[in-house]
Amino acid sequence: MKKLKETIKFAPINTPLRRRLQTLATGTAFLVMTCGGLIGSIFILYLILYTHHWPEALFYLYWIWVLDKDTCETGGRPIEWVRDWVWWKYVKEYFPTRLERVPWAEFNPRKNYLLCCFPHGILPMGVFTSFGASANGFQEWFPGHVPYVLTLKLNFFLPLLRDLAMALGMCSASAQSLNILLGDPAGGKAVALIVGGAEEAYYCRPGQYRIVLKKRKGFIKMALRHGSPLVPVFSFGEVDVFDQLDNPKGSVVRTIQDWLKKVTGVAPIVPVGRGFLQYTFGFVPFRTPVATIIGKPIEVEKTPYPTQEQIEDLHARFTKGLIELFEEQKYNYLAHPKNVELIIE
């Protein structure tokens, strides 16, 4: 036992209560995001098998799988008071996370914008606190726009978790969902898409900024169809929130991960973090600052039937804008900026 205590670094007993609440909120948020669907499913199954509330539970399943299944693709159901929960403010303070914009990042309230966010990270805490929860003050910067975060449609079939996700302004990352949001003639929508998706999570390691973009061009086509400006968004520090097991291409771990991702669409990453009361191991993210920077919008001319040449041209323009944002801002947010490069897969 003495040797174990010497190995594990415990949190000081006199840690302030607010810091303990920040750790509790962040660790619980991670559990909800990763295991909330399973927990919700077990709870509904318990109601059906062991209580008198089985009719309500069955109707709820019918509601989410049949009657309400398309809501995630038609604008969702954001609820402001949920986005304002104090829980999310504790999560923001834990790292802390913050949202900034470059001076020339202005939004036209009559337009819908596609926020193209990098990197994914194990869990995109910068994107979540900036565009899902209201903790980072997005609408103070852009009062004429409502943020939406796109995620896998699979999440909206998971009991209870899907309702929390929609309350936080999340929608399906499908073509239909993008068409609805970007095609709104009233404007005023800021749609946050993590372009690299689950694959990008494999590259998430402290100090390493490797993103997936070269072959991702569907979002370019959508922007052209609707004339929606593309906005490069980069979260510095996101890769430092967790470490993960070694998984080089060709390894047993990576082979299993790739197979599970192909079957489920979810990247089964094994995160390495800290614990609630100790700093050595666990699933709680590390306390490391995350700064999400909104870059200058790239104007897009509406082209209902874009050619491949137009798609390639806009993709090149966007890539250049993202690289410029990274190179300009890394000196403000990284400890050793000269040693860090943005690698694009």
Interhelix angle 17-50/54-62, rounded to 10 degrees, is 100
- pLDDT surpassing 50 at residue 250: yes
Q: Identify whether the C-beta of residue 192 lies closer than 8 Å to the C-beta of residue 148.
A: yes
- pLDDT surpassing 60 at residue 266: yes
Gap between the Cα atoms of 185 and 181, Å rounded = 9
**Residue 44: helix, strand or coil by DSSP?**
helix
Smallest CA-to-CA distance from 101 within 329, 327, 337, 319 is with: 329
- pLDDT surpassing 70 at residue 190: yes
pLDDT tens track for 131-176: 999 999 999 999 999 999 999 998 999 999 999 999 999 999 999 9
Q: What is the DSSP letter of 73?
A: G
pLDDT tens track for 38-49: 999 999 999 999
Spatial CB neighbours of 196, under 8 Å, sequence gap ≥ 6: 118, 119, 120, 211, 212, 213, 216
Smallest CA-to-CA distance from 222 within 188, 170, 177, 187 is with: 177
Q: What is the DSSP letter of 67?
A: I
- Per DSSP (E only), the strands in the chain are 97-101, 113-118, 146-151, 170-172, 189-194, 209-211, 230-236, 243-244, 271-272, 290-294, 342-344
pLDDT tens track for 291-318: 999 999 999 999 999 999 999 999 999 9
User: How distant, in Å, are the alpha carbons of 151, 158, 211 from that of 32?
Assistant: 15, 12, 26
User: How distant, in Å, are the alpha carbons of 74, 125, 283 from that of 33?
Assistant: 22, 11, 12
Which range, of 189-193, 230-234, 255-259, averages the lowest pLDDT? Answer: 255-259
- pLDDT surpassing 60 at residue 6: no
Gap between the Cα atoms of 145 and 23, Å rounded = 31
If phi over 0 gives left and psi between -120 and 50 gives alpha, with beta otherwise, what is residue 194?
beta
pLDDT tens track for 65-103: 999 999 999 999 999 999 999 999 999 999 999 999 998
Gap between the Cα atoms of 186 and 190, Å rounded = 12
Phi then psi dihedrals of residue 109, to 5 deg = -60, -15
The predicted structure's pLDDT at residue 263: 67
pLDDT tens track for 312-340: 999 999 999 999 999 999 999 998 899 99
CA terminus-to-terminus distance, the chain = 46
**Residue 196: helix, strand or coil by DSSP?**
coil
pLDDT tens track for 192-229: 999 998 888 888 889 899 999 999 999 999 999 999 99
Q: What is the pTM of this model?
A: 0.92
User: Which tokens sit at 307?
Assistant: 């050619």
- pLDDT surpassing 50 at residue 3: no
Mean of per-residue pLDDT scores for the chain: 91
**Residue 217: helix, strand or coil by DSSP?**
coil
Domain ranges of the chain: 17-331
